Structure 1
Amino acid sequence: MDPFFILESAKSFEEACASLLQAVPDHGFGVLAVHDLGQTLRRKGLAFPEECRIFEVCNPLQAAAVLANTMALNMALPCRISVYTEAGRTRIGMLRPGVMLAGLSADPSLAAVAGEVEASTRAIIAAAAAGAGPAMGCAQDP
């Protein structure tokens, strides 16, 4: 399975970022931090032409369930959703929680939590993209 879930949006980068901030709490998650990677790279003197913000999002109940499984899984938290541009197009994406956690644990209860988190974060991305084109890297998924 493709480890990425990415939707393209007709929205501008700033509009997509604002929409993501609105969609996160609607799905029971909170925003813990926002990292403006593009701005950081430019501030360091690099000629970085694209935009990229990484939103760290978390659902406390799901995070607690993951940590109850294995405390070392704290290193896989929180979930990250990126809004970025590539060749003039706005994209919103993430690493799939199910794929990532499956590589860290074979516990079926963890797979169930990862599935729930993935469904929620996909819904967040879809809401933020609003009117997005087909999913990239996951067109075959349900």
Structure 2
Amino acid sequence: MDYGISITLPDDFDAAMPKVIEALAEQGFGVLTEIDMAATLKKKLDVQIAPHVILGACNPPLAYRAVQVEESIGLLLPCNVVVRSGDGGTVVEALDPQVMVGVTGNEELTGVADEASTRLRAALQSLQAQ
């Protein structure tokens, strides 16, 4: 099952992070949380992985529209954007918002999913254009 939107940037992780946050902001997504997986796994399990951060991004108008249609949609909102070191650069991944329509079977979410998908894809495409 294809459930994500993904690009690879030529930038190293530290250079890519602020660019990703800026690209999301330009599309109306604020970053509410930042989970540093590498630091967490090092602290909790004493294992080392390449830089890997999960950004909890939110577009409030889209989130509001979705919750009006489906009260429990917060479980599926396409809020996680992963930024991680990959071969030859930095991988940026976002959950495809169409997943929330498929999982719930609620076609009333289609408009929200379409707009969220358009905005997330635009953010990622703008990163590739840099």
User: What's the TM-score once normalised by structure 2's chain length?
Assistant: 0.88
CA shift at 1:22, angstroms? 1.3
1: CA distance, partners of 2:77 / 2:127? 21
CA deviations on 1:92-114 (whole Å, 9 max, x unpaired) are 0112111x212332333301210
Considering only aligned residues, what root-mean-square deviation do their CA atoms show, in Å? 1.8
Kindly tell me: are residues 7 and 78 of structure 1, through their superposed partners in 2, closer, same or farther at Cα, counting changes over 3 Å? Answer: closer
Structure 1: tracts of 5 or more residues without a match: 132-142
CA deviations on 1:95-139 (whole Å, 9 max, x unpaired) are 2111x21233233330121011011112222223445xxxxxxxx
CA shift at 1:77, angstroms? 2.9
**Structure 2 match to 1:118:** 117
After TM superposition, the structure 1 stretch with the greater mean CA deviation from structure 2, 102-111 or 74-83, is 102-111
**Structure 2 match to 1:5:** 5
User: What's the TM-score once normalised by structure 1's chain length?
Assistant: 0.82
Kept in 2: contact 1:9–1:130 (CA 8 A): no
Structure 2: tracts of 5 or more residues without a match: none
Larger RCO: 1 or 2 (CA < 8 Å, sep 6+): 1
Structure with the higher helix share, 1 or 2 = 2
2:47 corresponds to 1:47: yes
Kindly tell me: are residues 6 and 78 of structure 1, through their superposed partners in 2, closer, same or farther at Cα, counting changes over 3 Å? Answer: closer
Q: Which amino acid aligns with 2:108?
A: S
1: CA distance, partners of 2:16 / 2:8? 10
Aligned length: 130
Kindly tell me: are residues 54 and 4 of structure 1, through their superposed partners in 2, closer, same or farther at Cα, counting changes over 3 Å? Answer: same
